[in-house]
Structure 1
Amino acid sequence: MMSQNLIEARGVTMRYGKKTAVDEVSFSLPKGRVVGLLGHNGAGKTTLMKALVGLKGVEGELSVLGLDPVRERSALLTELSYIPDVAVLPRWARVHELITLMTGLQPKFSAARAKQLLARTSVGLKDKVSSLSKGMVVQVHLALIAAIDAKLMILDEPTLGLDVISRKSFYEMLIDEWCDGERSVLISTHQVEEIEALLTDVLMMDEGKLVLNLSLEAMESRFVALAHDAEAADAVAAAHPLLRYRAMGGKSAALFDGAPPPHLEQLGQRFRPSLVDLFVALTRKPELAPRA
């Protein structure tokens, strides 16, 4: 499958016995994007990521960096970085030994870069993995993976176990020093509020299906929230919004796919819905038909 996109998925389906974990998913990922992969636990996110790195075969068509992830996995892993949802490092090893090991295993790994990234943390090069806290182990894992000069980085809950300051530091490094307009990142996380400002695109999964595939720019022009007084509640409900909820400040709000009906515009005030509100509105709901 020849393409300028880093990922091309067409009708990708994945099953565990009789259970369909990923159901007819299609999307593409161009260069220079930061994409959030969102969904509840069990939505199919981790299963899809395993397919992207060649850990599980698929029905349908899947190309990552122009390669078949299963048949050409060795070649793929020289150009791709992956952090699974559980950071596993050998407990007996010291941090500098892991750097030496990575230098021998991954031709595009930079030991100097890894040390530079670790210098931002409280982890020392002589520290043993067994002596590190869970958060510090994750920091080491992140530094080792981010020091690979890859074209694509796939992150499954990459900051699990880190405090808010460490999470912020990692995402700043990711955007400022790894993303360069050519490389792309696919991030699965439950910390939607923290990464929304970093994303260029969002993929949203619900029960194995892809219910949203949109750039953040297009999302802002497509979905509209309307804050309204209690007196307008019945009229708003009659227009069948995607979601009715309490906005910041305690005011009632409704989320619409497209502009609200003209008669409602006079009853409230438009505002930009958050990605969290959109996630609540679209998951556990019927799939939205794609727009041209």
Structure 2
Amino acid sequence: MTTPLIEARGLTVKYGSKTAVDHIDFAIPPGRVVGLLGHNGAGKTSLMKALVGLVPCSGELRVLGLAPQRERVAMLESLCYIPDVAVLPRWARVDQLITLMSGLHPRFSAERARALLKRTSIGPRDKVKTLSKGMVVQVHLALIAAVDARVMVLDEPTLGLDILSRKSFYEMLVDEWCDGERSVLISTHQVEEIQPLLSDVIMLNEGRVVLATSLVDMDQRFVGLSHDAAAADRVAAAHPLLRYRQQGQAAALFDGPPPADVAALGQRFQPSLVDLFVALTRAPEMNRTVG
């Protein structure tokens, strides 16, 4: 059996009396691209900070077989982290940052960083303060991706970027870093954009995991049913996770196949990751508003 790169059992993060991450379990094996989804305040950033050893936690947590707080230096040799704000010194030139990283990290490849940056319009003598936010993120990714690591943790890496910059970021990530042995955990609100990249998803709601599964298993498990308004009461009686409108038509989302008599009332479809996210994190609210 493959040893997970990240494994949590009963993981809890607290700030005083407030519980940000509440006794969660999950595992990430090698070669996975995992989306971490949740509304603001759901616990995503607290979870990521626990993974990289920035906040104390309880329960069991191993990253690359190491305890993030006690063995952080050793862990960071094989882990890359991009927080939700790309913090680079504004006074520095790009080539100076590459030189700096060469002296800081034993597994950093200056040659690889330069090769990645050649895919962009960023020059080696450009200063950070002259770059757009999208360019700063590209520099940050190039520096991080040039580290020979096994795990990458990305917290809202494309926040504030335009759609072209986001597309460029994800293309570089997939083409230059994902190789079947490394794993990526990425938190983002652009769910529809990253769905094609993902192999797995972890959904958080109020600090708890409401779903942790592969997208293959997700597609097999959850079923959407579009139906006429006249059938709404009969569909509702089957207790779907969510009732909403899909392309102007009444629809319902079920955990597993709906009963045969209910399925006969409409047309099955594959719900999107966004549909499922809404169903598992806001379903009671949505069901009150959809007739």
Deviation at 1:122, TM superposition (A): 2.2
Counterpart amino acid of residue 275 in structure 1: L
1:27 aligns to 2:4 (yes or no): no
Counterpart amino acid of residue 134 in structure 1: K
Deviation at 1:100, TM superposition (A): 0.5
Specify the alignment match of 1:289 in structure 2: none
1:282 aligns to 2:280 (yes or no): yes
Task: Report the secondary structure of 1:35's partner residue.
Answer: strand
Specify the alignment match of 2:256 in structure 1: 258
When normalised by structure 1's length, the TM-score is 0.94
Specify the alignment match of 1:62 in structure 2: 61
Could you give the per-residue CA deviations for residues 115-161 of structure 1, whole angstroms, max 9, x where no partner exists? 12212222211111111122221111111111111000000011123
**Contact map agreement 2:221 2:255 (CA 8 A) in 1:** yes
Deviation at 1:285, TM superposition (A): 5.6
Matches of 2:234 and 2:170 in 1, distance apart? Answer: 42
Deviation at 1:262, TM superposition (A): 1.0
Matches of 1:13 and 1:178 in 2, distance apart? Answer: 30
Matches of 2:142 and 2:162 in 1, distance apart? Answer: 16
Matches of 2:46 and 2:263 in 1, distance apart? Answer: 42
**Contact map agreement 2:84 2:155 (CA 8 A) in 1:** yes
Matches of 2:127 and 2:242 in 1, distance apart? Answer: 49
Specify the alignment match of 2:216 in structure 1: 217
Task: Report the secondary structure of 1:9's partner residue.
Answer: strand
Give the count of matched residue pairs: 284
Counterpart amino acid of residue 103 in structure 1: S
Matches of 2:245 and 2:119 in 1, distance apart? Answer: 39
The runs of 5 or more residues in structure 2 that have no matched partner are 285-291
Matches of 1:242 and 1:64 in 2, distance apart? Answer: 34
1:159 aligns to 2:158 (yes or no): yes
When normalised by structure 2's length, the TM-score is 0.95
1:268 aligns to 2:266 (yes or no): yes
Task: Report the secondary structure of 1:149's partner residue.
Answer: coil
1:38 aligns to 2:10 (yes or no): no
**Contact map agreement 1:138 1:161 (CA 8 A) in 2:** no
Specify the alignment match of 1:72 in structure 2: 71
Task: Report the secondary structure of 1:181's partner residue.
Answer: coil
Aligned ranges 1:83-122 → 2 under 5 Å: 83-122=82-121
**Contact map agreement 1:206 1:284 (CA 8 A) in 2:** no
Specify the alignment match of 1:186 in structure 2: 185
Structure 1: 4+ residue segments shifted above 4 A: none
**Contact map agreement 1:11 1:25 (CA 8 A) in 2:** yes
**Contact map agreement 1:138 1:160 (CA 8 A) in 2:** no
Matches of 1:170 and 1:57 in 2, distance apart? Answer: 31
Deviation at 1:169, TM superposition (A): 2.0
**Contact map agreement 1:22 1:208 (CA 8 A) in 2:** yes
